A and B are shown apart, each in its own frame.
Chain A
Amino acid sequence: DAKTTQPTSMDCAEGRAANLPCNHSTISGNEYVYWYRQIHSQGPQYIIHGLKNNETNEMASLIITEDRKSSTLILPHATLRDTAVYYCIVRQRGGADGLTFGKGTHLIIQP
């Protein structure tokens, strides 16, 4: 699976949109971009994933650049409960292997 690069930490004001970037310049054509988050002392929570089109669900939006070398996770109206470590993971389509977690981005929502 391709490697990803994320900022170590980010701050965002409550009520604002939180935009979390991820670089995956070596991504191949059959690899998805997945986002998970881990709130302190809990198991990771699946957020969203995409291949090349932008995706939106009830939690977030995922914007993938046309060349697929980077993506942005958008939390449209951040709340204090969104404070967590966010992991961007690239994963092969049809892959059934375990996930490789990097260090992720520690997002802190400020009141």
Chain B
Amino acid sequence: GAVVSQHPSWVICKSGTSVKIECRSLDFQATTMFWYRQFPKQSLMLMATSNEGSKATYEQGVEKDKFLINHASLTLSTLTVTSAHPEDSSFYICSATRLAGKETQYFGPGTRLLVL
């Protein structure tokens, strides 16, 4: 149990385009989903917290208009990188917590984004 998937696993796009990444909890309902970003040779950095049916909470320094998060159901959250630029190239990882036992986060496999 506690499987989280992400789609796509990798994506290459041109500068200026938008990219949508999906995060799904496959076998449980997730009250909260989180989005992280990881640059090469660095640790994961939390970008935003997403609760079903409400607006996401963004960490300091993360532009909410650039990284649009939608959490429409208890099993799906999406991250849209709008007007992507090469500096947005990174490894994007989501995680989810169950309705009960919310302290433990289960992570997706990540999405590697390359903006040309």
Contacts and interface: CB of A to CB of B under 8 A. Distances in A.
A102 B44 CA distance: 8
A64 to B, nearest CB: 16
Contacts of A100: 46
Contacts of B103: 32, 34, 49, 91, 93-96
Given A49-B103, A93-B103, A96-B103, 19 more contacts: A32-B103, A34-B103, A34-B104, A43-B107, A43-B110, A44-B93, A46-B2, A49-B104, A95-B103, A96-B31, A96-B32, A96-B97, A96-B102, A98-B34, A98-B95, A98-B105, A99-B95, A99-B105, A104-B43
Contacts of B77: none
A71 to B, nearest CB: 16
A95 B32 CA distance: 11
Q: How would you classify the secondary structure of chain B's contact residues: helix, strand, loop or mixed?
A: strand
Contacts of B43: 87, 101-104
A45 interface: yes
A98 B46 contact: yes
Interface in A80-111: 87, 91, 93-104
Interface residues of B, number: 27
Nearest to A100: B46
A45 B44 CA distance: 13
A57 interface: no
Interface residues of A, number: 25
Interface of B: 2, 4, 6, 31-32, 34, 36, 43-46, 49, 59, 91, 93, 95, 97, 102-110, 112
Contacts of B106: 46
Counting from the closest, the 9 A-B pairs by CB-CB distance are: A98-B46, A43-B107, A101-B43, A101-B44, A43-B110, A98-B34, A44-B107, A43-B93, A43-B109
A97 B49 contact: yes
A81 to B, nearest CB: 16
